[in-house]
Each structure stands twice: as structure tokens, then as C-alpha cells.
């Protein structure tokens, strides 16, 4: 990946940057381009400088802008340049200012890499459109109606990138996806990573009008979306939170066989895949044990020392499948200990 785009990627991709950088060169290019395009679309979707309707129109145009340098791309670039000036975070300002280079990076990918990159962008943009069209602007607040709606949203925002991850690895390593099983597992892993984000960011999302926890679940514990603005409601909400932690942990159960299916010789690919899985498991454990996920002053995230501790243990984890399985299952058990029940 070009040095200038690598510099743009690092501050906007959190721990995922570490996985991208450890991939072999070809995979770095496709993962970096796909992530930057999706992240840029997300920044455009969230900018306060543009009206919601205008942002919705731009997100509808975004997949076509990725595919060809036509009027849609020029419209996106013009909006990005306008929005860049209003960004409070320098990292997001740099991202929007470099969007033309991000499009060019995708343009230069091999044809098959371009195709799966566009599939990922399509999926993520569907989720972004839901955010813009379903939820009201603050101070109004609305909950998703049903569990199936939340699962679909997780599949668009997380599962789609999980499918992309799988297809990219197969293209670049020669790994065969027999009967599409790896693709299904990759989608499940992506679902799990997305629900960790939703639960972790719940207090902040509520304050911009978004309650991803389904209304049907809230009714079961006699709460409304508006009630969740009061952190004292957390004790009443906890069974709903636990339900979705379990759902995510069950989706992440696909990760063990998925990682073991990766070619043993592809140590970089295995490491890059193990890290986000382990960090997601660690986040689930923290979410399960958290005192109050409705308190915006107490955001849950794993410590940087935990992230780098996992990286430091990578040679041991990669030394044998047994070592990986032990680390994976220990983290998984920790989640269910926090929930007060055993894993199924």
C-alpha cells in the first residue's frame, strides 16, 4: 500500500490497521483500499455539515462512485472536500482530503479484488442508509423494531466485510471455500464484531437518536428507547444486553474452525485474522462484566496493553493449533463467566 494512504489509514482504523499491516503486500492493498472507502463513506454519512437527505443521496451514489470515475465520483469528491473543512478530527479531515487517492487505489486493484471490494462497499452503504433513513435526528430517539432488523443491520455493516475478508484471503492464498462454508463463517464473525461495536457505543448512539436494541426486546423488560437515556435503567436492561452478547458470542463460535482452515504456511494471514477475533472476545468479556453500558462517561474498550500483549504472544499462538485453541477457548469461557452462565 502506498505510503501516503498508509499514513491516512493508521489513525482512522484503530486496531484493524495492525492486521492490515501484517498481511502480505497484495492483501494489504485490497484490505487498505476497501477499508478506506468504507470509512470515507461513513464519515460522509455522519458529517453535520450536510443535511440528512443530502447525505442519503451521497451514500446511494457512493458504490457507483467507487466503480467508475464519472459524475457520481465527482459529486462525492466535491461533497468530501466541503465536509473536510468541517471535520473536528484531523484524521477524518485527512481521509476526506485523500478520497481521490482512495478511489485511485481501488481503480488500480486487480479485477477480482475490485469486485469483492465493491461488494463490501455495497453492503456497508446499505447499513449507512438505514442509519440515515430509519433513525430520527436527536433529541428524538427510536429503537429498531425487531431482532431480525438488528441481525440484518449487523450482516450489512459487519457480515459483508466478513465475507470480503474471506474472499480476499481465498483469492490471495489459493484457499478453497468448499460449499461456501468459509464465507458463511466469515459473515458470522463479521456479525459478531459489529454487535460488539453496537453494545460498546450504545450510550453515545442513544444521544444521537439511535437505539439499535430492538423495541420488542425493550418491551419485554418494560422499557422504551427514551428510558435508556437514564443510566439508572441499566439494571432493568441487562437481560437484553446479555441476550445480544450471547448472540454475538455464538456468531463468533465460527472463528475456531475458520482460523484452523487457513493455510498453516500463511502465518501473516493467520495472525491478521486471529487478532481481531481475540480482541472481539476480550471486548465481549468486558461488556458482560461492565457496570453500566448506558453511562456515556464509562465507555468500554480493551486496553492498549491487552492489544499489544496479544501481538507479543503471536509466535506462541501460531506455534501450534493447540496453542491457538487454548487461547481462543479461554477467552470464550471468560465471556460466559461474566454472564453468569456456561457456554453451550
pLDDT, averaged in runs of 10, over the chain (344 residues): 85 91 95 97 90 95 97 96 87 95 97 98 98 93 98 98 98 95 98 97 96 98 98 97 97 97 96 97 95 93 90 95 96 85 42
What pLDDT is recorded for position 186? 98
From the options 1.10.1040.10, 2.60.40.10, 1.10.600.10, 2.30.330.10, give the CATH code of 135-344: 1.10.600.10
pTM value is 0.94
Listed in order, the ranges of the chain carrying CATH 1.10.600.10 are 135-344
Residue 340 has a pLDDT of 59
List beta partners, residue 211. 143
pLDDT at position 299 = 85
Give the HSE-up count for residue 235: Cα atoms under 13 Å, Cβ half-sphere. Answer: 1
pLDDT at position 100, please?
A: 96
Amino acid at each position: 500500500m502506498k505510503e501516503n494512504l498508509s499514513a491516512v489509514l493508521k489513525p482512522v482504523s484503530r486496531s484493524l490497521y495492525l492486521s492490515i499491516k501484517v498481511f502480505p503486500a497484495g492483501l494489504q492493498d485490497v484490505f487498505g483500499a476497501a477499508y478506506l472507502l468504507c470509512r470515507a463513506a461513513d464519515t460522509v454519512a455522519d458529517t453535520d455539515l450536510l443535511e440528512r437527505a443530502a447525505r442519503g443521496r451521497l451514500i446511494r451514489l457512493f458504490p457507483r462512485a467507487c466503480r467508475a470515475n464519472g459524475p457520481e465520483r465527482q459529486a462525492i469528491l466535491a461533497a468530501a472536500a466541503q465536509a473536510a473543512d468541517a471535520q473536528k478530527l484531523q484524521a477524518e479531515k485527512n481521509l476526506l482530503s485523500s478520497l481521490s487517492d482512495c478511489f485511485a487505489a481501488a481503480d488500480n486493484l486487480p479485477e477480482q479484488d475490485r469486485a469483492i471490494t465493491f461488494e463490501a462497499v455495497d453492503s456497508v452503504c446499505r447499513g449507512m442508509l438505514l442509519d440515515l433513513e430509519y433513525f430520527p435526528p436527536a433529541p428524538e430517539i427510536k429503537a429498531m423494531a425487531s431482532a431480525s432488523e438488528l441481525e440484518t443491520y449487523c450482516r450489512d455493516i459487519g457480515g459483508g466485510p466478513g465475507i470480503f475478508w474471506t474472499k480476499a484471503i481465498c483469492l490471495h492464498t489459493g484457499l478453497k471455500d468448499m460449499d461456501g462454508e468459509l464465507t458463511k463463517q466469515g459473515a458470522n464473525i463479521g456479525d459478531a464484531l459489529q454487535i460488539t461495536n453496537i453494545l460498546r457505543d450504545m450510550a453515545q448512539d442513544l444521544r444521537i437518536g439511535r437505539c439499535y436494541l430492538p423495541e420488542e426486546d425493550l418491551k419485554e423488560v418494560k422499557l422504551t428507547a427514551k428510558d435508556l437515556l437514564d443510566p439508572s435503567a441499566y439494571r432493568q436492561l441487562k437481560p437484553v444486553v446479555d441476550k445480544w452478547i450471547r448472540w454475538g458470542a455464538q456468531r463468533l463460535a465460527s472463528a475456531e474452525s475458520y482460523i484452523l482452515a487457513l493455510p498453516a504456511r500463511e502465518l501473516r494471514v493467520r495472525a491478521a485474522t486471529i487478532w481481531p477475533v481475540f480482541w472481539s472476545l476480550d471486548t465481549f468479556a468486558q461488556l458482560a462484566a461492565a457496570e453500566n453500558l448506558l453511562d456515556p462517561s464509562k465507555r468500554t474498550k480493551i486496553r492498549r496493553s491487552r492489544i499489544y500483549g496479544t501481538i507479543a504472544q503471536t509466535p506462541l499462538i501460531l506455534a501450534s493449533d493447540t496453542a491457538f485453541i487454548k487461547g481462543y477457548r479461554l477467552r470464550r469461557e471468560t465471556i460466559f463467566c461474566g454472564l453468569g452462565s456456561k457456554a453451550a
